[in-house]
Structure 1
Amino acid sequence: MHNQFDPNNKIIQLLLQGMGMEDSGNPEAAGLLFLKAWSEATDDFEKFVAAYYVARHQKIVSEKLIWFETSLRFALEVNDIAVKSAFPSLYMNIAKCYEALSDPDKAKKNIELSHSYKGTPSDPGPFFHGTRADLQVGELLTAKEESNYKPGLKMNHIYFTALISGAGLAAALAKGDGPERVYIVEPTGEFENDPNVTDKKFPGNLTRSYRSQVPLKIVGEATDWLQQTPEELRRWREKLANNQGEIIN
């Protein structure tokens, strides 16, 4: 059973298509794609994330509540670090439904549950950092480097992920002509969920993307990850070029 976030997963792709429809002002088409994703979802992870999008599209609060509670039910079945990061958002959405339905006790209970899941991520890793820089085991990766994606932007944090495919994508998109490298890294202190992805497109931090102000220590190099096809890379580059959103630094 896969609980990992995979951009090539059929259900994730349907949801991304639906979000694209939302962005281009076509909520009806988006709603149909979300329902299609729900009807084709086969495991708890897919059902949790599909139900979340169906919930967001409901006009009637009681229906919205049913779908958010369905999403939560499957999320609780998955018992996965990435999915746990969605609990604050899920419980908060459920609380808002109860508030709208004038049930303050249930609203309060869900707000408390939402807060109980917030805090420092407890992801044990292993962690990866993708780049084209040629580095050695033992070296430290530090913040204050120039962004790979926005020229002239000095980053206040160093970014990393627990999904090797995510680090591989970062390496492929990084500046420079050197070969793509994915280093196995250890944070040397506290880290937080990357706010550029957390609760943005997906609930929580399903891509297990993190950032830290303290250095990352290189402990090894990964050699085996799923490479993007040239077509997929072209699409990602287009997405980055069109991304007018501000980078939260």
Structure 2
Amino acid sequence: MEFSANNTVVKLCIQGMHLEDTGHVEEALTLFLKAWEEATDDAEKFTSAHHIARRQTKLEDKLKWLNTGLQLAQKINDDVVKPALPLIYVQLAQCYKELGEMDNAEKYDKLAKQLPDAPSTKELFFHGTRADLQIGDLLTAGGKSNYEADLVMNHIYFTALIHGAGLAAALAKGEGEERVYIVEPTGDFEDDPNVTNKKFAGNPTRSYRSQKPLKVLGEIKNWARITAEERNKWQERLDNNQGEIIN
């Protein structure tokens, strides 16, 4: 499943999270369960299982859904779900501690402390911007944030999703043309902590960051650009976002 706000399961989970924010937790769980019923693949099932597990009040039920999510994550075994494994292990360890099953608690505590695998370098990566760049140019950290005024970024950000890079280009500061470039990391990189395991488990937006430059390999000319109305809605969400950027 390529993450999209138009995906049926994603839409149901987003609606459920909105209900949670307003205190309607039972109605939220109903939507999460509906998402599970409508899931058509393991990735969609993983997404819904994560939210169902969060809303369980009985330890046994929580364990059931956490283990379901873990089994799905291990089956999928890609860079979307791997970042969620430490989170799942911590939650499993806590459940087993509360049940007094200390051997299992210790097992998952140890797993949670193991460093996750580094993201794959075998796929194409993209960067969205309004800058006019050439093949071979280097994108470096130190620019101002698109999302918080006067914040100088310590990392350069990129994604494995073209539409994600396109959104970044649409929201980028400046008056230049929206551009999406194919880029190559020149050093180590990590999952973007600003989105990983936040609203959704893992890194479904396949967003990454690096302190090392990105090398421009080419430009994507055709992608699904968002409308002016959609851009305004995204900008409004960003303006209303009270979360702190992890820099």
Shift of 1:198: 1.2
Identity %: 58
Shift of 1:144: 0.8
Which of 98, 101, 126 is the aligned partner of 1:100? 98
One-letter code aligned to 2:188: E
The alignment partner of 1:184 has SS state of strand
Against the structure 1 CA distance between its residues 115 and 123, is the aligned structure 2 distance closer, same or farther, given a 3 Å change threshold? farther
| Alignment map for 1:62-101 (pairs within 5 Å) | 62-101=60-99
| Alignment map for 1:24-63 (pairs within 5 Å) | 24-63=22-61
TM-superposition CA deviations, 1:90-148 (whole Å, max 9, x none): 22212211111111111122223333352533343311100111111111111111112
**Distance in structure 2 (CA, Å) of the matches to 1:224 and 1:65:** 45
**Distance in structure 1 (CA, Å) of the matches to 2:50 and 2:190:** 24
The alignment partner of 1:82 has SS state of coil
**Distance in structure 2 (CA, Å) of the matches to 1:54 and 1:226:** 32
Which of 236, 239, 242 is the aligned partner of 1:241? 239
- Equivalenced residues, count: 247
Contact residue 87 and residue 117 of structure 1 kept, 8 A: no
Against the structure 1 CA distance between its residues 114 and 123, is the aligned structure 2 distance closer, same or farther, given a 3 Å change threshold? farther
Contact residue 94 and residue 105 of structure 2 kept, 8 A: yes
Contact residue 127 and residue 185 of structure 1 kept, 8 A: yes
Q: Unpaired segments of 5 or more residues in structure 1?
A: none
Shift of 1:245: 0.8
Contact residue 129 and residue 161 of structure 1 kept, 8 A: yes
The alignment partner of 1:39 has SS state of helix
Which of 6, 15, 20 is the aligned partner of 1:17? 15
The alignment partner of 1:8 has SS state of coil
TM-superposition CA deviations, 1:215-238 (whole Å, max 9, x none): 111111112322223443232112
| Residue of structure 2 in register with 1:140 after alignment | 138
Superposition CA RMSD, Å: 1.5
TM-superposition CA deviations, 1:128-174 (whole Å, max 9, x none): 10011111111111111111222211111111111111111101111
